Structure 1
Amino acid sequence: MSQLFNILGKGVGSVLSRSINTSSKSIITSSNTAIGSKGLWIGGRFYSTNELSKLRNIGISAHIDSGKTTLTERILFYTGRIKEIHEVRGKDGVGAKMDSMDLEREKGITIQSAATHAKWGQNHINIIDTPGHVDFTIEVERALRVLDGAVLVMCGVSGVQSQTITVDRQMRRYNVPRITFINKLDRTGANPWNVIDQLRKKLNLNAAAVQIPVGLENNLEGVVSLVDGKAYLFTEEKGSKPIIAEIPPTLKEQYLEKKIELIERIANVDDQLGEWLIENDFPNQMPDEKTLKEAIRRCTIARTLVPVFMGSAFKNTGVQPLLDGVIDYLPNPTEKKIIAHEGNNSASQPLEEKEIELFSDPKKPFVGLAFKLEEGRFGQLTYMRVYQGTLKRGDMIKNVNLNKTIKVPRLVRMHAAEMEEIQEVGPGEICAMFGVDCYSGNTFSSPNVNYTMTSMHIPEPVMALSIAPKAKDGQTNFSKALNKFQKEDPTFRVKTDEDSGQIIISGMGELHLEIYIERMKREYNVDTIVGKPLVAYRETIQGKGEYNYTHKKQSGGQGQYAKMAGHIEPLEGMENEFVNDVIGTAIPPNFVEAIKKGFADCCSKGPLIGHPISGIKFVVSDGATHSVDSSELAFRIATAGAFKEGFADASPMILEPIMKVEISIPSEFQGVVISGINRRKGAITNSNSVGESLTIECEVPLNNMFGYSTELRSMTQGKGEFTMEYQKHTPVSRELFNNLIEEYQKKREEERK
């Protein structure tokens, strides 16, 4: 606090920011400094003796087209961050605040996660709006990695969808407490109780409604809170001033039933409320609002309960009570345990096992995680979550992963595409730095500490394309674009094919790669030639294969000699394993290490079609050396020959990626769509009909899904939608097996010519 008053002593005006306008990003002036009875606001941030208890870091996550960005737009409007509401597709020429890219507004989807911050009462909320499309799942991963809580948005008609399951898995991976908002209750067929039932059965969540709706579909008027027993009616056009009223008589019976259900579900997982029920005459006597709120908060933070809110963001209904729920039930930065590791998490220096607990204390050494990168006009923009200590402009901080010390050049707070320049940030905050060279997932700390945050989960790409610039003079910008995109997105990979010399880009799906190709054209003025999509096949074996291989070479001077024997066998899953079963010193340890490296080389490119190898255990059980001619190189060469021999003897097979596909269509098109799935060799696993809408879940080989978006649009008069995510790898048919090998052999012969 003393530092803050020192800043004020220099004059309130010293906290103001410069204004800079650019085509892509803009820095806005902040002069909203005010002193209140409980603290003060500087640059949009509330400072007080208990400021961390008033801070929330949340993400808005959901299946595609559930209304995440629409909900965020309403949150920004009701908190006063924006003056007008604009819709997602930008039909009015403006578009939603959080969809700042032209591509996002044109396609009506979120592509990049966007950060902003808002004030709700005396509380400060950092918000990250994330994409719903599975192709951009890395944006959700890195947002949830650094957030303390989340709002899971559900469609009141569709309920739990394929990407909802993925988002749930991500929230569990990072232990993120969440509340749920059932959106779109104004739509025909909306039923929040079906959605809650699906949350319990499909996601195995202890979900309980904390509200009931007042009307549904066209008659949706508001919600009744089960906690305070009041009705909130949203009759004003923009929903800015909800009317607080008594519970409508027609809802009193349902109110009592659902309140008892809520209390019982909490009591099942909360000892304190359970004891209260035993000591009091429940259900004749109900816990008061304070007792119930405290119990819901404890359970939500412990992730034993998911409170469910209701409304319609598009119809401006139920958003303010949801904001109250964010403050009442989601944790502040001090309520989530933060673990770091002591040591360097780099390839050259592996991560040590010692765990260190971090604390949201501004006086402790600084520790922060760079979770997202963007290339802008002013250089690289690095999004940072501060976990411990204080980060100030001009500070010297260390990139622990790269072991480099840098000076913090500029600090900004993000509001979608706008940036507010600031002088310092404290623990629990989310900010961005300019002009710092690093990678996504790097840990920064004070120079005197060596803590590393655990990295985020990065899914493997499932699809690739060959790409090249049309014009020779576009080569420089082409290379710049590829480097930029790789830094921004860990799931976007670039490599050069050794045989053909082609540049291959890999990603999470057709849309993912299509967006980057379009961005290359718009941002770098590079037209490209794109090759046929390449499927991420894998090579494996189905049986056990023996090998007994000797590598011998004599050509004057020192020769080469290495002998090794053993077997290879299938391994469950997609990982590979090396096992040293050599007894004694038949093969010395340094040569065993060379064999291990040789095995890794073999796994990177299989003998069948040149794709990576998965699911193989390579066992070395015996061997022989020569006192002069044996070397690490000789054993690496021998490993290649031994592997090829064992692989051929073990019934080799090619695996193809199978995608989980969810298709939403009007019921009238059911027959033609199912015929299309069968034609693409898909297997239908489930279907669900709600009113006139039909959802079909199926598993289809990725190789058969190219061009499906166009086909689905034409079959359903533009009304059909589908999402697709990686499910598993399975063996290809014998016909495809032979075709793939034949194509690969032809390609090799052409390259030799």
Structure 2
Amino acid sequence: MVSLFAFWYKNMIQTSEEIRTSDATAGAEGIVREVKRRRTFAIISHPDAGKTTLTEKLLLFGGAIQMAGTVKARKSGRHATSDWLEIEKQRGISVASSVMQFTFDDCVINLLDTPGHQDFSEDTYRVLTAVDAAVMVVDAAKGVEEQTIKLLEVCRLRNTPIITFINKMDREVREPLEVLDEIESVLKIKCAPVTWPIGMGKRFQGVYHLLNDQVLRFVPGEAKAGQDVETLQGGEIDQLAKQCPSEMQTMRDETELVMGAGASFDLDEFLRGQQSPVFFGSGVNNFGVREILRALVDWAPPPLPRATDVRLVLPTEPAFTGFVFKIQANMDPNHRDRIAFMRVCSGRYSSGMKVKHRRTGKDMKLANAVTFMANERTRMDEAYAGDIIGVHNHGQLQIGDVLTEGEALTFKGIPYFAPELFSRARLRDPMKAKQLQKGLRQLGEEGAVQVFEPLIDTSNPLIGAVGQLQFEVVEHRLKAEYGVDAVFERAGIQTARWVTCTDASHLAEFVKANQSRLAKDVDGNYAYLADSGVNLRLAQERWPKVQFFATREHGQQLS
């Protein structure tokens, strides 16, 4: 896969020349040109590392917004653009992935902001299947944290190129060499500093750009997006060394040590996901944001080939393909709508086009697709590989669904994870039962939680989640979006496993003997609900022909 990617990236121009000789010359040329302009990436980090703030500033410097919101400034009515759910505005945390598209330097940027909190890791994992690169934000004071480790492991599964931004240098933080060493030793990825800090906290003077041999001066306060950062070269750097001798000498000693260890930037290693270019800055002060945007445009890969159950799909192919990686209910509270977020993998989307829904085999008309700025949307008339489009969904689309212009294929790698916590919703008003069922079904479809229907008591669904905060978010959304006041009570279940068996009669026997412990998920697959690890092991021993799965891919029918 790695060698194929290197071949693909290096030979993009040659590929376009070959396509130009095909029958559909004009259309193919247009697709190749548009694909090369796309950059699709996610921002990942542990909570409170400054991820959402950096998202805001990238939008600001990209010209997508005029004024960045502040997560802390809730009294003034300002909040992060990407945090659009009411509960996000109240708590100042991201609980749902957001998609934002803007243009910078003739590149179309698709930016996906992900929840940092571990309770929403499943949503983040799905988003990472839809991107071609990632920006990892590290708190310079705290270094590598637990959620960052988990997210980078997911990126490593697909060799996703990673750009590292070490944030909060305007504070008293750890020594940069120490943070760099921790990233390399814990995350097992080589670091190649592109900028290096000059001091920290109140003594923070800016950064030295190793590739350009320049000093970028830091000025406290939020610089405006159109305002140029003061750049020093040659004798001006020597003058700064006289003003700040200690900080400049430390910077020179450290960069000499780093470069002597062979940590120079290598584009090929970056594209293979083996090396990460490192930038230092202060997101809240807009310092270092331009350099991240520049790196994404210059170094991040355009849309990559995608693996399916049949073959690799190249982004420059003329036939349209795409997959749904997220569904969001009630983005517009006035219309109670549902939007399916789709990653375009090849070809060109055009309004009104007809596609084949792979799971059902039915034809669909794609009309009025939208592009996003968090929950704000604009109608999109065309889209290309790498773009994230929103498709109005009336219940026919699920996470993992594939839409194509005819070819039967399924994109790989969009998993369900077995929940670790289970609850049942108890209504305060029994007359709201229908609204509860509708709300849970729609929130289950979008992946906010997993909803299981027990075989014995179909009227009392089970809600499964990875973390407790998911239940709190669903409780809040049920009340705000569906008018349902409910509380969640623990169900006494420790874990779930999806089950299947190649012997249909044996599976039927298993189902009959275990009805009280079985439920069906949103796709109608059987799941075994165990109240303890001992119970699960006993079931596996008693039914050796039955397979128990801790994960399954979306759209994969197990039973």
Q: TM-score, normalised by structure 2?
A: 0.80
Q: What is the aligned counterpart of 1:112 among 96, 104, 109?
A: 96
What is aligned with 1:326? Answer: 296
CA apart distance, 1:536: 1.4
Secondary structure of residue in 2 paired with 1:175:
coil
Question: Is 2:84 the partner of 1:92?
Answer: no
Q: 1:347-383 CA deviation, whole Å, 9 max, x = no partner? A: xxxxxxxxx121222x611110111111232632111
In structure 2, the CA distance between the partners of 1:533 and 1:155, relative to structure 1 (3 Å rule), is: farther
Q: Cα RMSD (Å) of the superposition?
A: 3.0
Q: Structure 1 residues 442, 255: closer, same or farther in 2, change over 3 A?
A: farther
Per-residue CA deviations over 1:304-363 (Å, capped at 9, x if unaligned) read 211111111112221111111222222111xx3322223xxxxxxxxxxxxx121222x6
Q: Is the 8 A contact 1:575 1:614 kept in 2?
A: no
Residue 151 of structure 1 aligns to which amino acid in structure 2?
A: V
Q: Please name the residue that 2:398 is paired with.
A: 439
Cα deviation for residue 610 of structure 1 reads: 5.9
Kept after mapping to 1: 8 A contact 2:110/2:386: no
SS at match of 2:65: coil
Partner AA of 2:223 in structure 1: G
Distance in 1 between residues matched to 2:498 and 2:463, nearest whole Å? 23
1:598 alignment partner, one of 486, 496, 509: 509
In the other structure, the counterpart of 1:346 is none
CA contact 2:31–2:318 (8 Å) conserved in 1: no
Contact kept in structure 1, 2:41 and 2:110, CA below 8 Å: yes
Quick check: 2:452–2:463 contact (8 Å CA) kept in 1?
yes
Deviation at 1:215, TM superposition (A): 1.9
Query: Where does residue 309 of structure 1 map in the other structure?
Result: 279
Matched, 1:261 2:258: yes
Match of 2:313 among 358, 375, 378: 358
Structure 2 matches for 1:713-752, cutoff 5 A? none
Q: Which amino acid aligns with 1:427?
A: A
Residue 126 (structure 1) shift:
0.8
1:558 corresponding residue in structure 2: none
Correspondence for 1:726: none
For residues 292 and 466 of structure 2, the distance between their equivalents in structure 1, rounded to whole angstroms, comes to 33
Superposed displacement of residue 575, structure 1: 9.1
* SS of equivalent to 2:219: coil
Instruction: Tell me what 2:12 maps to.
Output: none
Partner of 1:407: 365
2:65 is matched with 82
Identity %: 24
Q: Distance in 2 between matches of 1:66 and 1:398?
A: 42
Return the letter of the residue paired with 1:339: A
**What do the CA deviations read for 1:49-93 (whole angstroms, capped 9, x no partner)?**
744333210101111111111001111111211111221133321
What is the deviation of 1:199? Answer: 1.0
1:451 to 382, 392, 409: 409
Aligned to 2:379: 421
C-alpha contact 2:358 2:404 (8 A) present in aligned 1 = yes
Amino acid at match of 1:58: F
The answer on whether the counterparts of 2:198 and 2:251 sit within 8 Å (CA) in structure 1 is no
What SS does the corresponding residue of 2:95 show, helix, strand or coil? coil
In structure 2, what is the equivalent of residue 4 of structure 1? Answer: none
Alignment equivalent of 2:232, drawn from 221, 245, 250: 245
Task: Name the residue aligned to 2:191.
Answer: 207
| Aligned with residue 531 of structure 2, among 605, 611, 631 | 611
State the alpha-carbon separation in 1 of the partners of residues 135 and 169 from structure 2. 17
Partner in structure 1 of residue 137 of structure 2 = 153
Going from structure 1 to structure 2, the CA distance change for 1:527 and 1:577 (only over 3 Å counts) comes to closer
Q: Which runs of 5+ in 2 are unaligned?
A: 1-29, 519-528, 545-549, 551-559
- Structure 2 match to 1:683: none
Q: Which secondary structure does the structure 2 equivalent of 1:453 belong to?
A: coil
- CA drift of 1:245 comes to 0.8
Alignment match, 1:569: none
**Contact 1:458 / 1:490 at 8 angstroms: preserved in 2?**
no
Distance 1:618 1:516 in 2: 33
1:43 alignment counterpart: none
C-alpha deviation, 1:143, in angstroms:
1.1
**What is the letter of the counterpart of residue 324 of structure 2?**
A
The CA distance in 2 between the partners of 1:604 and 1:158, in whole Å, is 49
Name the CA distance, whole Å, in 1 between partners of 2:168 and 2:109.
24
SS of residue in 1 equivalent to 2:416 = coil
Letter in 2 for 1:261: V
Secondary structure in 2 matching 1:172: helix
Q: Are the equivalent residues in 2 in contact too, given 1:224–1:230 (CA < 8 A)? A: yes
- What SS does the corresponding residue of 1:95 show, helix, strand or coil? coil
Aligned CA distance change for structure 1 residues 234 and 600 (closer, same or farther; 3 Å): farther
Give the length in aligned residue pairs: 486
Structure 1 contact 369–453 (Cα < 8 Å) conserved: yes
- Distance 1:478-1:575 versus aligned 2 partners, 3 A rule: closer
- CA pair 595-48 structure 1, distance change in 2 beyond 3 A: closer
Residues 416-452 of structure 1, C-alpha deviation per residue, up to 9 Å, x if partnerless? 1110112111222111112452001111100x31121
Once the 2 structures are TM-superposed, how far is the Cα of residue 409 of structure 1 from its aligned partner?
2.2
Amino acid in structure 2 at the alignment position of 1:82: I
- Distance in structure 2 (CA, Å) of the matches to 1:390 and 1:457: 26
Decide whether the 8 Å contact of 1:397 with 1:406 is kept in 2: yes
Structure 1 gap ranges (5+): 1-46, 267-291, 343-355, 539-573, 579-589, 620-641, 645-656, 658-753
**Cα deviations across residues 570-629 of structure 1 (Å, max 9, x unaligned)?**
xxxx89898xxxxxxxxxxx9x6523553466678669x96375346968xxxxxxxxxx
CA distance in 2, matches of 1:48, 1:364: 7
CA contact (8 A) 2:448 2:474 kept: no
Residue deviations 1:513-538, cap 9 Å, x none? 11101110111111114324645158
| Cα separation, 1, equivalents of 2:460 and 2:393 | 32
Aligned with residue 130 of structure 1, among 88, 97, 114:
114
Q: 2:373 corresponds to which letter in structure 1? A: H
- The answer on 1:505 being equivalent to 2:463 is yes
The code of the aligned residue for 2:312 comes to: E
Equivalent position amino acid for 2:179 in 1: V
Alpha-carbon contact 2:423-2:462 (below 8 Å) kept: yes
SS in 1 for 2:121: helix
Q: Secondary structure at the match of 1:614?
A: helix
Change (3 A) 1:499 1:238: closer
* CA 1:234–1:49: 2 relative to 1, 3 Å: farther
Cα-to-partner distance string for 1:684-703 (whole Å, 9 max, x where unaligned): xxxxxxxxxxxxxxxxxxxx
Counterpart mapping for 1:289-304 below 5 A: 296-304=266-274
What are the equivalent positions in structure 2 for 1:622-641 lying under 5 Å apart? none
* Equivalent position of 1:493 in the other structure: 451
Matched with 2:168 is 184
Distance 1:144 1:65 in 2: 20
CA contact (8 A) 1:378 1:434 kept: no
CA change 1:67–1:317 in 2 (3 A) is: same
Tell me if 1:484 matches 2:442.
Answer: yes
AA at the equivalent of 1:296: D
Question: 2:17: which partner in 1?
Answer: none
Q: Which residue, out of 328, 338, 352, partners 1:374?
A: 328
- 1:139 to 2:123 alignment: yes
Contact 1:212–1:255 under 8 Å retained in 2: no
Alignment partner, residue 349 of structure 2? 391
Q: Give the aligned partner of residue 432 of structure 2.
A: 474
SS in 1 for 2:308: strand
Q: How far is 1:239 from its partner?
A: 2.3
CA distance in 2, matches of 1:143, 1:601: 38
- 8 Å Cα contact 1:62/1:154 also seen in 2: yes
What amino acid is the match of 1:441? G
Change in 2 beyond 3 A, CA 1:226/1:307: same
| Partner of residue 651, structure 1 | none
Change (3 A) 1:133 1:420: same
